[in-house]
Structure 1
């Protein structure tokens, strides 16, 4: 996948609003593979909705979203499976981890489906992000910042053309944010992938090709 295009897209819940000032909603926007984007937004302007629309998790929007020119509303279940397994990785704001499972088990679930990363590499990511001691700890016993790092590692356990990170460092200090950026740059460079980060203030320290206001 090389291009994600939004054509006059708008969440249905915004349809009754008289005026919307946005670089995305009701505009034509193309996200290109290999580029790095920051989507800046105030709370309640639809950034998490945007991620869900692109991931096919929600369909309550007006307009058109296309992957390489094909309207995603026409995608079959098997096409969505392929996209989520090989083309788009998504780190949701709410993380969507399984609280009753350990950090490793959460990551292993994803990696078993894709077979992408070896266990040694995953351990190295845990160590770099300062959570190696949480490997066998249940997610519901961990802080939200620790959970964010686990969810980030899980998002890396697949091939992708684009990786979306919805407020990935809201609970991280500057040191861990920098390490996350370094890992992200290394992994996306290997795959020639695009990066899309959303933020309501604090954001990953990256060299963004474009900053978009939602």
Structure 2
């Protein structure tokens, strides 16, 4: 499903060039759920952004579904993000002008995979049936996170990338959200790469990889 080969990424800073990723090699199988852990500043979010096609590496390959997405032009990378990958970040990024029902359907419609039956099932599983006519500003943090997960999974992406998806939640709500993500990603057959600082949450996934100073251990 995913093969990262000798992936490198650096940025210019006031103190000079900072190498964030220094030769990343990683394979993820189809349907595998992998936790990406490591200290703050180790490059976890940078790696996720590269796999998501939100940024380009300095060198190396990001082979997903048999093609290197780092070599795609801007239009094709946008199509990849729209149809093949789902993103769940701490910021939620819900569309403020759309109600919950429209937010959930948004990505699936862009991907051409709008399925009302599947969306209704997600709404029920996520426990947000009474929130469909509300707008994001009317929701609690936990409710917004559930809506964001529903929006991502409604499109049935082959790959789900989650960056600290429970970071804004208390332990009980965080556990509930993670359980839903794991259950729903398994049902859809999605590969899941999840960034977390919590060893307790990481232990729930199939496998863990640790990023230290830009290298995987």
Range of TM-score over shorter length: 0.7 to 0.9
Q: Give me the whole-angstrom Cα distance separating, in 1, the residues matched to 2:10 and 2:91.
A: 19
2:130 alignment counterpart: 133
Higher strand share: 2
Aligned pairs, number: 208
**Which runs of 5 or more residues in structure 1 are unaligned?**
none
Among candidates 27, 35, 42, match of residue 24 of structure 2? 27
Task: Specify the alignment match of 2:215 in structure 1.
Answer: none
Q: 2:58 aligns with which of 58, 62, 75?
A: 62
The TM-score normalised by the length of structure 1 is 0.79
Pick from 97, 101, 106 the counterpart of residue 98 of structure 2: 101
| 1:10 match | 9
2:70 corresponding residue in structure 1: 73
Q: Which runs of 5+ in 2 are unaligned?
A: 212-217
Q: 1:198 aligns with which of 187, 195, 199?
A: 195
Task: Give, in angstroms, the shift of residue 28 of structure 1.
Answer: 1.9
Q: Does the residue aligned with 1:156 lie in a helix, a strand or coil?
A: helix
* In 2, Cα distance between equivalents of 1:125 and 1:174: 22
Q: Equivalent residue for 2:185?
A: 188
Give the aligned partner of residue 208 of structure 2.
Answer: 211
Instruction: Report the CA distance between 1:178 and its aligned residue.
Output: 4.4
TM-score, length basis structure 2: 0.78
SS at structure 2 position matched to 1:83: helix
- Contact kept in structure 2, 1:165 and 1:198, CA below 8 Å: yes
Provide the alpha-carbon RMSD of the alignment: 3.0
Distance 1:10 1:85 in 2: 24
